[in-house]
């Protein structure tokens, strides 16, 4: 493996701006940058930032067809997208490294990076088609990258790394080293980002209440125990999404943030870019060596500027029987999902109900771990657990059927997965909550919550607004009506 040490900088956004306009540019952002306004670091849970661009293979799944592009050659397949990705990664294997990433090893040194939208689940499960498509974006977009820039905010190091799989890799790394070594400079991206309409929802409160009541009827009838019900917000926008993302990471840093600038091709082969801005606090699946871990979030309370009120809100969450019961349901679901690819007896609940506090909400987080079967890969784990139980409900399939019945629009990327799967077999992914898509000048995002037997409609509705608060704050900041 090749590695080049570069000068550390506290804000990876200044580095990413140098490649942001390159094809398939992506930033996996730990939210650890220093906030110049406060002098404090961002998310306390973050660690690494990973920057990539210009993949040498791309996989784009839309409907039943995956388009694979390599060296200008385009092929299509109706094979399972997860299997296609698994087979490609098998061609470029590298030695495994394990946590902690120290002594010259890194979380990602090349491999797959991108997103798996929630609606990719239709390739795994048979689901109805009641909800309307909301955004014309592919169900999966994955790039295979031969290099990455890895920023370690705890060790304060920056490295350009690669397995040198391509003939021109060394020349490419020399050029990238020069690009990233230049003194940090202000962004040259000049198109102002502007929100040009009101933010509207696909569910007003009466509509949400009707859907909520139907969920309660299903629970009372024994169809399910929990259903995650979400509403979709949208607004018209103009300009450069990167400006909105920078503001989002400033006011609401989270450990599993991401920014992606990706191509969208319409039926007439006209290509324009769309952007993904993820502010997710939730890890989905991490694989390191044979160690597998998931950290579902269930249980939410709002943050307050008054310390006493904020502490009261956190304490109420920690002792809430309803939120703990909701959390346990999802923990049990994920234990079952991990058991499909982990060794018998290895799946354990490491921690229940850990309180984690973010910019606008408190959450209850649990940790489940397992040991990967020798015959299984990270892609196998991802597929067996997809989509995450924390954002569907229990039992998963019935909850997903109810979601499609009651939510007016399909979720698209929301509640899907963003992350990497390395050539070394390691993986880290988020649940794509608190995630914005800017596609064809429409900004859209969702917020939802789990409904159980003792849920109260007013509290559940308000919880969706609390979760959307950081993004709605951004839209207000950039609104020009």
CA distance readout (Å), 403 to 329, 353, 398, 448: 17, 26, 9, 11
* DSSP reduced 3-state for 379: helix
298 catalytic? Reply is: yes
Choosing from 17, 139, 250, 282, the catalytic residue is: 282
* DSSP reduced 3-state for 244: helix
Choosing from 17, 246, 250, 298, the catalytic residue is: 298
- Note whether 114 and 260 are within 8 A (CB): yes
Alpha carbon distance 43, 255 (integer Å): 6
The per-residue DSSP string of 387-452 comes to SPGGGTEESHHHHHHHHHHHSSB--TTTTSEEEEEETTS-EEEEE--SEEEEETTEEEEEEEEEE-
Helix (H) or strand (E) holding 73: strand 73-77
Length of the chain: 481
- Note whether 393 and 224 are within 8 A (CB): yes
| Residue 268, phi-psi category: left (phi > 0), alpha (psi -120 to 50), beta (remainder) | alpha
- Note whether 350 and 459 are within 8 A (CB): no
324 catalytic? Reply is: no
- Catalogue the E-assigned strands of 128-270: 140-145, 147-152, 157-162, 194-195, 200-201, 226-238, 256-265
- Catalogue the E-assigned strands of 254-413: 256-265, 271-280, 283-288, 291-294, 297-302, 348-357, 361-371, 393-394
Catalytic residues: 282, 298
């Amino acid at each position: 493996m090749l590695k080049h040490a570069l000068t550390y900088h506290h804000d990876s956004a200044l580095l990413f701006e140098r490649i942001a306009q390159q094809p398939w540019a992506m930033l996996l952002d730990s939210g650890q940058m220093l906030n110049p306004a406060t002098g404090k670091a961002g998310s306390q849970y973050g660690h690494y930032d990973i920057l990539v661009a210009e993949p040498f293979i791309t996989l784009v799944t839309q409907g039943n067809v995956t388009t694979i592009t390599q060296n200008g050659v385009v092929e299509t397949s109706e094979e399972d997208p997860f299997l296609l990705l698994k087979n490609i990664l098998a061609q470029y294997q590298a030695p495994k490294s394990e946590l902690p990433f120290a002594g010259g090893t890194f979380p990602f040194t090349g491999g797959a990076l991108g997103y798996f939208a929630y609606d990719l689940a239709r390739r795994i499960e048979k689901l109805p088609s009641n909800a309307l498509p909301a955004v014309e974006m592919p169900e999966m977009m994955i790039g295979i990258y031969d290099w990455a820039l890895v920023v370690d905010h705890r060790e304060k190091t920056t490295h350009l790394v690669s397995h040198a799989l391509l003939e021109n890799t060394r020349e490419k790394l020399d050029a990238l080293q020069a690009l990233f070594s230049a003194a940090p400079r202000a962004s040259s991206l000049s198109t102002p980002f502007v929100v040009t309409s009101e933010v509207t929802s696909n569910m007003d409160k009466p509509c949400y209440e009707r859907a909520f009541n139907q969920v309660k009827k299903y629970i009372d009838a024994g169809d399910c125990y929990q259903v995650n019900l979400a509403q979709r917000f949208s607004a018209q926008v103009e300009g450069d999404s990167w400006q909105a993302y920078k503001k989002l990471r400033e006011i609401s840093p989270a450990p599993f943030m991401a920014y992606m600038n990706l191509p969208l091709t319409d039926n007439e082969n006209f290509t324009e870019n769309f952007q993904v801005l993820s502010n997710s606090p939730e890890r989905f699946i991490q694989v390191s060596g044979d160690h597998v871990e998931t950290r579902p979030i269930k249980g939410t309370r709002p943050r307050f500027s008054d310390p006493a009120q904020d502490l009261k809100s956190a304490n109420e969450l920690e002792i809430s029987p309803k939120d703990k019961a909701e959390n346990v349901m999802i923990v049990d679901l994920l234990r079952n999902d991990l058991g499909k690819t982990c060794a018998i007896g290895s799946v354990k609940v490491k921690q229940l109900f850990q309180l984690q506090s973010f910019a606008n909400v408190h959450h209850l987080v649990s940790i489940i771990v397992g040991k990967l079967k020798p015959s299984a890969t990270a892609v196998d784990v991802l597929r067996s657990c997809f989509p995450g139980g924390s954002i569907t409900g229990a039992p998963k399939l019935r909850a997903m059927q109810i979601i499609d019945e009651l939510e007016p629009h399909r979720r698209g990327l929301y509640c899907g997965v963003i992350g990497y799967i390395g050539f070394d077999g390691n993986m880290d992914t988020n649940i794509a909550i608190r995630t914005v898509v800017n596609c064809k000048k429409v900004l859209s995002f969702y917020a939802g919550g789990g409904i159980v037997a003792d849920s109260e409609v007013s509290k559940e509705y308000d919880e969706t607004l609390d979760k959307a608060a950081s993004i709605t704050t951004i839209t207000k900041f950039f609104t020009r009506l």
